[in-house]
Amino acid sequence: MADPRGGLRLPGVPRAARRSSTAAPGLYYSGKGGAVGGAAGRYLLRDGRTALRAELGRFAMSSAPPVFIGSAEVERLLPRASLLLPGLEAALRNFSAGAAGGVEQPLRAVVPVRPHGGFLGVMPAYSAADDALTTKLVTFYERRGDSAAPSHRATVLLFDPRCGSLRAVLDGSVITAKRTAAVSAIATKLLMPRSAEVLCILGAGVQARSHYEIFTELFPFTEVRLWNRSEQRAVRLASSVGGAVRVCGTAREAVLGADVIVTVTMATTPILFGDWVKPGAHINAVGASRPDWRELDDALMKSSVLVVDSREAALTESGDVILSGAEIFAELGEVLKGTKPALPEKTTVFKSLGMAVEDTVAAKFVYDAWSAGK
């Protein structure tokens, strides 16, 4: 039910109870703070906080309805991707630590929707360090009936890890955009050349924007170049970001001499070639998440130090890795832990496929901020 204050009106918990992760029946709250009162308020006065907590705790473990946190609210609670950096760094380390790291994350299941050129990905994860349990459902479509429609749509379900009840349904598109860019920024911090001045982004969609935002927030690039298959879209993005961006007519022009390159396209054949890349540059290869899709050519894959988010995923899902036969040097978590060196003086490729635990960290961040009434 729509709430005039902008959230969803659901039978659930008072604000005070939400702060302590508990809930009471028969009350209403808005998507953003909002109403407190009704029976629980009276109950609190009559029987005190301890009794309320015990009662609400029992209810929360059983039947409290989930809260819905939409994209505008996620954006408000997670205004900058950089807020995720500490949580994501820890999660990447824990993932690469194996069983000791406490991350349970099976390979994502991807269901092709062949007649429509689409895919549905199911991405569950539990992080013991965060005590958070989520699954993301993400669709991505090569062909779009309506070309203005987003190619990716996602929803994250967040569960109470103590009993498995569903606590929240969150918009996953903003989460996906921000956590992906934040992970690329982590890789870049470790792998880029010592003095990196020129940033090049190939692609001009959702990920291009989120990467532009965090990269220009964190790193002192003196020049940002942008190329997109359709130049019009690149011009639109460049004029909307509020900083100086040079739109290039060809990918080659954008890449020549760049220190850091981000590939964020829906390409299925290479758009970035080893011949063009400055020795020592760092590349974040974010697109091409199917075993027969490419963004980078064989020459670049084979001549670079290859770091991946997950070895298992890279060897199953990444056309750039599988079809080039390039050897994987490390997982990003291993570089973060220091069990593998970063080698910033070499040409490096970070092949990102996206991991469920990244969504877990981001969804918990958003849910905790919401619960705290921020």
Ligand X SMILES: O=C([O-])C1=[NH+]CCC1
Ligand Y SMILES: NC(=O)C1=CN([C@@H]2O[C@H](COP(=O)(O)OP(=O)(O)OC[C@H]3O[C@@H](n4cnc5c(N)ncnc54)[C@H](O)[C@@H]3O)[C@@H](O)[C@H]2O)C=CC1
Contact letters for ligand X, residues 140-179 (x by CB under 6 A): x-----------x-----------------------x---
Judged by beta carbon, residue 21 or residue 352, the one nearer ligand Y is 352
* Total of chain residues touching ligand Y, rule CB under 6 A: 27
Distance from C-alpha of 96 to C-alpha of 105, rounded to nearest angstrom: 11
> Is there a contact between 304 and 295 (Cβ–Cβ < 8 Å)?
no
Q: Which residues pair with 27 in a beta bridge?
A: 12
State the first-to-last Cα distance of the chain, in angstroms, to the nearest integer: 22
Residue 141 binding partner per list ligand Y, ligand X, none, with a CB distance cut-off of 5 to 8 Å that depends on partner kind: none
Residue 265 binding partner per list ligand Y, ligand X, none, with a CB distance cut-off of 5 to 8 Å that depends on partner kind: ligand Y
Sheet strands (E) in 249-373: 260-263, 282-285, 305-308, 328-331, 348-351
Contact letters for ligand X, residues 106-125 (x by CB under 6 A): ---------------x----
Distance from C-alpha of 44 to C-alpha of 52, rounded to nearest angstrom: 6
Binding span for ligand Y by CB under 6 A among 13-21, 39-47, 98-106, 349-357: 349-357
Residue 284 binding partner per list ligand X, ligand Y, none, with a CB distance cut-off of 5 to 8 Å that depends on partner kind: none
Judged by beta carbon, residue 156 or residue 196, the one nearer ligand X is 156
If one counts every other C-beta atom within 10 angstroms of the C-beta of residue 301, the result is 26
Judged by beta carbon, residue 157 or residue 353, the one nearer ligand X is 353
Per CB under 6 A, the list member of 204, 251, 354, 363 interacting with ligand X is: 354
Phi then psi for residue 8, to 5 deg, are -95, 140
Distance from C-alpha of 165 to C-alpha of 22, rounded to nearest angstrom: 12
Per CB under 6 A, the list member of 40, 283, 286, 301 interacting with ligand Y is: 286
- Output the smallest distance, CB 353 to ligand X, in A: 6
Per CB under 6 A, the list member of 255, 267, 300, 307 interacting with ligand Y is: 267
Please, which of residues 224-253 interact with ligand X by CB under 6 A? none
Residue 351 binding partner per list ligand Y, ligand X, none, with a CB distance cut-off of 5 to 8 Å that depends on partner kind: none
Question: Which amino acid is residue 358, in one-letter code?
Answer: E
Rg (CA), the chain: 22
Cα distances from 194 to residues 225, 245, 262, 305, 349, in angstroms, run 19, 22, 17, 16, 16
Dihedral sign (CA 82, 87, 89, 95): negative
Residue 205 binding partner per list ligand X, ligand Y, none, with a CB distance cut-off of 5 to 8 Å that depends on partner kind: ligand Y
Nearest by Cα to 364 from 102, 165, 168: 168
Per CB under 6 A, the list member of 59, 95, 126, 140 interacting with ligand Y is: 140
Distance from C-alpha of 224 to C-alpha of 176, rounded to nearest angstrom: 23
- Output the smallest distance, CB 222 to ligand Y, in A: 24
Per CB under 6 A, the list member of 64, 168, 185, 264 interacting with ligand Y is: 264
**Site of interaction with ligand Y (CB under 6 A):** 140, 151-152, 176, 180, 203-208, 228-230, 233, 264-268, 271, 286-287, 289, 352-354
Q: Applying CB under 6 A, which residues contact ligand X?
A: 121, 138, 140, 152, 176, 289, 353-354
